[in-house]
Every structure is written in structure tokens, then in C-alpha cells.
Structure 1
Amino acid sequence: MKRKMFLISLICVLFLAVHAQDSGWEELFNGKDLSGWEQINGKAKYEVANGEIVGTTVFGTPNSFLRTNKTYSDFILELDLLVDDRMNSGIQVRSLSSKDYQNGRVHGYQCEVDPSPRAWSGGIYDEARRGWLYPLEQNSKGRKAFRSGEWNHYRIEAIGNSIRTWLNGVPCADLVDDMTAEGFIALQVHSIEDKALEGSQIRWKDIRIKTENLQASPWTDIPVVNLIPNYLSPQERAQGWQLLFNGKSTDGWRGAGKESFPSRGWHVENGELVVESADGAEAGNGGDIVTLDEYSTFEFQLDFKITEGANSGIKYYITEKYGSDQSAIGLEYQILDDERHPDAKLGTDGNRTVASLYDLIPAHKNKIVNKPGEWNHARILVCGVRRDEWLKGNNITADDFVGSHVEHWLNGRKVLSYERGTQAFYALVARSKYAVWEGFGSWQSGHLLLQDHGNEVHFRSIKIRKLNQ
């Protein structure tokens, strides 16, 4: 009987070993020593204990990295980690270190390990380069995936221009970017500014990688951050996104109140839709442009780049019969050089600054804004239906109020939200420049508009998806 059990056990072990080999996984850590790894940059302590790699913080040293000797392009990486809640860490992928870049400083994609209340574990940071690429502010489920004081399982898929992450089986980040196609993998021990944090530790184990016969996981419904201009990734297409500008033509747009696209004042150059400089006045050259289609509930995104002192805007729920000679009237996501344009100091409490709901609600004062000449990312979310009884007296004829909930986002962070069709909203309208427009903000659908305010502004990666109620 014992011999029979032994043979069965042996067969099971051999089966599992063969299965593991057939699966194509390669162990990056042998559980005994740091063979295949090298420490660079800072002087945090790395050692092997109990079959784990242990990283320990050291005061007075910069970020430390334990990197693989090999580099990798396309791969699937999995590992487990246990981190002290007092420290920050990360997993570098496709990362680089060279003397010609900040004297060898490690830079590249980092999958975040963040046990703090911010809870951005699984997000993607660009170490020593562009900063946050995929913060988890848009992914509430992902923010709940990290388990404090427990082992956490990370999975990173880097295939082609796609980098996707999972934490304990929960999808966290979906990044599309083509800046770096190959680099090393590294385990970070972040620097500390408080000596009381010295000795904090993070542990890694079961580190394995697969580089051949890769199959991407099924598409999910989490937001995609796509940094390749005028391109829709397969997951975005699966989620219903459509490009409103392909980088080559003005198809899908026309002049506001016109049947065709303006013959002057706008042009396409280097994959960008450019409104040209004129005299700084509204409709100062070619005039505003609007989408051919109308939208009720939607998610809209674009990149914009302003010149110094520029003014422009993204308007939504545009009805062209309802407006002025200078510009169509509608809800407006403000685009502005806050430092140099005088409009930033007008209005109330900064409600004419960049990303604000123009003349109604100011964007958050701690918003992150890239300077003129650099790209910023705008996102507008419009969803929800209201059936408030008090709406009966506000010239609203539809039974439902479509698109009641609205959010403005700037560079991956929400900067304001509001509810259309509420007493609070109409109180804001009543004290704004829009008070003279009857029923302002009550439309059920409308066009999207890019504003010509007489200043040079560039747009790209303009995309939208309709949302079902």
C-alpha cells in the first residue's frame, strides 16, 4: 500500500513538473540566492531569507532597484509580495539604466505597490520620466484589490504596445504606449525621508515569467489609457469607443451653424487638428466646429496643447439655434492658460480656469496642469437619468432628464462633478453669464464643439463612446 501511494505521489509530481515546463513559465528567482539579479542606484538592503527576496529601507539613499540581468520585451510576469504598510514600492518592467540618462538612473514603467490610503496599487507610473500614466482614480474596484498585511499576487502582461496589470485577480491598469519596447525587470525599495521608517521591509516570492506563446487575457471593462495619438486599441474598440479625428482629415466635423468645415482658420498638421491664431476674439477666424452627430449620454476624451496665453473650450449639448453671433452657447469645459490669460481671474472662485465648467463651477485647485507647449488630457463623462418632481416647473418637457451626472477630468484626475437639473445647478446658472438664456443646461442631447477663440490650440486623439442608460 505504501509503495502504491509512493508511486502515485511520484507520478503526480512528475505530471506537475512536465505541465509547468509545457506551460512555458521560467522562474526568475531560485529561492536560494540572487543569481540573475543585480542591485543598482540606491543602497537599500536586499537579501534572501526563507525562500523570499527581502528588501529593507535605508535612510539617506535614493530609490534602490534589484534588476534582472536579462532584458525582456513581450512577457507575462507573475509574483507575490508582502509589504510593510509604512513604505512604498514598485515593480519595474521594460525599464532602462544608461549613463546618458541622468547618470544611470533607472527609468521606465513601474507597476505600483501602494499600501497607503491613496490605494493606487496596480497602477502604472513612469519612473524618472513622465510620472503617473495610469493612476487608479477611475478604477474603484482596482483600488480595493490590495490586501493590507497579507501576500498580494501581481500579474503584468506586456504584449506589443499594451501593458495590463492585475492584483489578486482584479484588473487594475490598461495602458497603451509605445515609448519603450524592451528593458529589464526590477524590484524597487523606495527611498525614505523619515529615519523612523528605516527598516521597513517588502518581501517577494514565486517570481516567474513567460516569454513565448503568449495569450493576452480577455478584454475587461476598466478604462484604457491610450498614449498613442489617434489610435484605438482592441480593448477600446471592444468597449465601444470611436475616433472623432483620425489624424488626417476633418471628416465628422463641420462649422457651427454651417453645412461644411470652415475653409480657413483650422488645419490638420502632424496628426493634429489645429485652430489657428487670429485676434483672440471668439470665432476670431474660422469659427467653432461641431460634430456631425448629437449625443445624450457619453464619455468623451481628447488631448489638447495650448500656446502661451491661449483660450479655447470644449462645449457639449450644443443646439445651434440656441446661441450668439460669436459662439454657440453650451456647457463648457474650459481650456485656458491660467497664468497668462486674464479670463482666469474673472468669474467667481476660479470658475473660468482650465477644466472648470465655465462660469459655473471651478475645477479643483490642486489639479495637475501641463504648461503651454505640452499635452494635457481632457475627459468629460455624462451619464444618469433623473425624475425629480420639482423639474416639472423648469420648462423641461421630457419625462426623464438624460445625462444628469457630469464629471470633468484633467490628466487622469477628476477635477469636478455636478448634477444637471437640480436646484443647485440652476442656482449657479442664475448668477452666471448664462442667466439670460432660458432653459440653459436643460437639453437632452446635442453636438460637441471645439471653440475658436482666436488663439492657436492643438487637438488630437479625439474619441467618444455612447453610454446606455
Structure 2
Amino acid sequence: MKHLIYFVMSALLLTVAGCTPKEPEINTLTKKEIAEGWELLFDGKSLSNWKTFNGGEVTGWKIVDGILHNSGVGADHGGDIITKKEFQNFELYVEWKIAAESNSGIFYHCQEGVVNAIYESAPEYQLIDDKGWPTKLKDSQYSGSNYDMNAPVNAEVVPIDEWNKTRILVDGPHVEHWLNGKKVVEYELWSDDWKARKEESKWRDKPYYGMSKSGHIGLQDHGGLTMFRNMKIREIK
């Protein structure tokens, strides 16, 4: 009888173990995504699709178990990076996780050669430790915002040890920021409202800010640690 009970319990344990959900493979595309025109910006193994903003080969950034880590601060600070390829209209998907009191961002339509800093030309989707940031933030500085231009509405970050899901849609002048399944920002580039917001922001004396209709995707190496994975993009024809 004891042997029978042991056998049944062992079988049950094996069944339960077999039913445990398998972690989805990261930095890959499904057949459906490939058919829809998605392409990976990061394969979890190399940074062959990326370069340093206004520079060459990426330095300081690290790949750890398929996750891209920015360099943060210190002697190995690498600076902001951009895709080698430029994009005009697109849907971008990125998963990110940020360390306590850290700050980063995702840029689009970045232009090299005309500005010294990436944010002087490119709008920024803000990434920050919303709940643990040591100083008071403006509404337009929380995660998901169009930094210093549009505050996010009903944005909710996940706990700091979990992955946030970001989607950025750019279709002509129309831009949408999504955070964890919610649309949190929507605006029209070069509209009267956009021009008024720019005049009241830190970009009012930056003539190249937000003016390009195409450019590179960028990741900020600003302060503290931010991690990225599952970065993919689909061009809108």
C-alpha cells in the first residue's frame, strides 16, 4: 500500500511539474510577427544593430543573460546609443525594468551631427523610478510621458522588479505612447498645441527638437541602471 501511495504521489508531482508554464523565450519573433513585418532591434547576443550617438562602436553597455544593461554612471559610462537604421513611421515595442532611483528614456527620430545631445533633436518616452525618485517630479516627467511636453494619463508602472511593456506608435505627425497596455499619451507633431508646449518647455531654444520626420531609435544612458529586452519594430508603409 505504501508503495502504491508513493507511486501515485510521484506521478502527481510529475504531472504538476509538466503543467508548470514555461517562460516564453525572449528576443525572438513568432511566425505571425515576421509575417506582419516585425524585426528585432536586439537579439540578446550582440549590439550589431546599434552604435553610440554621434560616435562609433557601443561601449559600456552590457548584455547579461540576454538582457541589455545600460552602463549607468562611472568609469565605463558609455553614453546614449541609437539604431544604425533610421525609421519614419513605425510601431515600436520594448520591455524595460529600472533600478531604484534610476532614470532613462527611449528616443525616436534622432538626428546625428546637428546637435551635441540626443534629446536636443529627439522626443523622449520617459523611463524613471516613478515611486522611488528622491525629488518631486513634474507631471511631464513620469514614465510614459513625452518628456517635458505631454504628461501621461492613467499611467501605471509595475513593481520595480518586474518588466514594463512600452509601445510607441509614430504615423506621420500622429504619436501615441502606451504603457502596460494603456494609451497614456497622444499628440500631433508640429500642431499648434505641440508648438505651444514646446515654447513653454526646455526645448524652446532647441531648433532641431522634434522637427525631423525620420531618424534613429535611441536608448538613454543617463543615470543608474535600466535594462531592456524584447525590442522589436514594425515599419508602417
State how 1:194-343 maps to structure 2 within 5 Å. Answer: 228-262=25-59, 265-278=60-73, 285-325=77-117, 329-342=121-134
In structure 1, distance between residues paired with 2:46 and 2:210: 31
State how 1:132-211 maps to structure 2 within 5 Å. Answer: 180=21
Pair 360,230 (structure 1): closer, same or farther in 2 beyond 3 Å: same
Pair 431,231 (structure 1): closer, same or farther in 2 beyond 3 Å: same
Runs of 4+ in 1 over 6 A off after TM superposition: none
Pair 344,230 (structure 1): closer, same or farther in 2 beyond 3 Å: farther
Are 2:151 and 1:362 equivalent residues in the alignment? yes
Partner of 2:13: none
Are 2:226 and 1:457 equivalent residues in the alignment? yes
Shift of 1:338: 1.2
TM-score by length of 2: 0.86
* Structure with more strand by fraction: 1
User: Which structure is larger by alpha-carbon Rg, 1 or 2?
Assistant: 1
In structure 1, distance between residues paired with 2:100 and 2:123: 24
Q: Which has the higher contact order (CA 8 A, sep 6+)?
A: 2
Partner of 2:177: 408
In structure 1, distance between residues paired with 2:200 and 2:117: 22
In structure 2, distance between residues paired with 1:464 and 1:266: 21
SS at match of 2:105: strand
Residue-by-residue CA offset, 1:403-447 (whole Å, 9 max, x unaligned):
200000011111111111211111000100000111421211110
Is the 8 Å Cα contact of residues 166 and 179 (structure 2) preserved in structure 1? Answer: yes
Is the 8 Å Cα contact of residues 275 and 457 (structure 1) preserved in structure 2? Answer: yes
Is the 8 Å Cα contact of residues 309 and 340 (structure 1) preserved in structure 2? Answer: yes
In structure 2, distance between residues paired with 1:418 and 1:179: 43
In structure 2, distance between residues paired with 1:319 and 1:325: 10
In structure 1, distance between residues paired with 2:78 and 2:179: 27
Gaps of 5+ in 2: 1-15
Amino acid at match of 1:304: W
In structure 1, distance between residues paired with 2:25 and 2:196: 41
Is the 8 Å Cα contact of residues 256 and 328 (structure 1) preserved in structure 2? Answer: no
TM-score by length of 1: 0.45
Pair 292,326 (structure 1): closer, same or farther in 2 beyond 3 Å: closer
Pair 295,317 (structure 1): closer, same or farther in 2 beyond 3 Å: same
Shift of 1:251: 1.0
In structure 2, distance between residues paired with 1:246 and 1:452: 20
Pair 292,261 (structure 1): closer, same or farther in 2 beyond 3 Å: same
Partner of 2:162: 374
Pair 179,232 (structure 1): closer, same or farther in 2 beyond 3 Å: farther
Residue-by-residue CA offset, 1:2-23 (whole Å, 9 max, x unaligned):
xxxxxxxxxxxxxxxxxxxxxx
Pair 246,326 (structure 1): closer, same or farther in 2 beyond 3 Å: closer
In structure 2, distance between residues paired with 1:252 and 1:309: 29
Residue-by-residue CA offset, 1:272-314 (whole Å, 9 max, x unaligned):
01013316xxx98100000001111000011001000110000
Partner of 1:429: 198
Are 2:186 and 1:417 equivalent residues in the alignment? yes
SS at match of 2:218: strand
Pair 439,277 (structure 1): closer, same or farther in 2 beyond 3 Å: closer
Pair 325,368 (structure 1): closer, same or farther in 2 beyond 3 Å: closer
In structure 1, distance between residues paired with 2:76 and 2:184: 29
Pair 329,179 (structure 1): closer, same or farther in 2 beyond 3 Å: farther
Shift of 1:343: 6.3
SS at match of 1:425: helix
Pair 272,321 (structure 1): closer, same or farther in 2 beyond 3 Å: same
Is the 8 Å Cα contact of residues 119 and 209 (structure 2) preserved in structure 1? Answer: no
Amino acid at match of 2:226: V
State how 1:9-20 maps to structure 2 within 5 Å. Answer: none
Residue-by-residue CA offset, 1:379-414 (whole Å, 9 max, x unaligned):
10001xxxxxxxxxxxxxxxxxxx200000011111
In structure 1, distance between residues paired with 2:81 and 2:20: 32
Q: Please report the RMSD computed on the Cα atoms of aligned residues, expressed in angstroms.
A: 2.3
Gaps of 5+ in 1: 1-97, 99-177, 182-226, 384-402
What is the aligned-residue identity percentage? 37
Shift of 1:322: 3.2
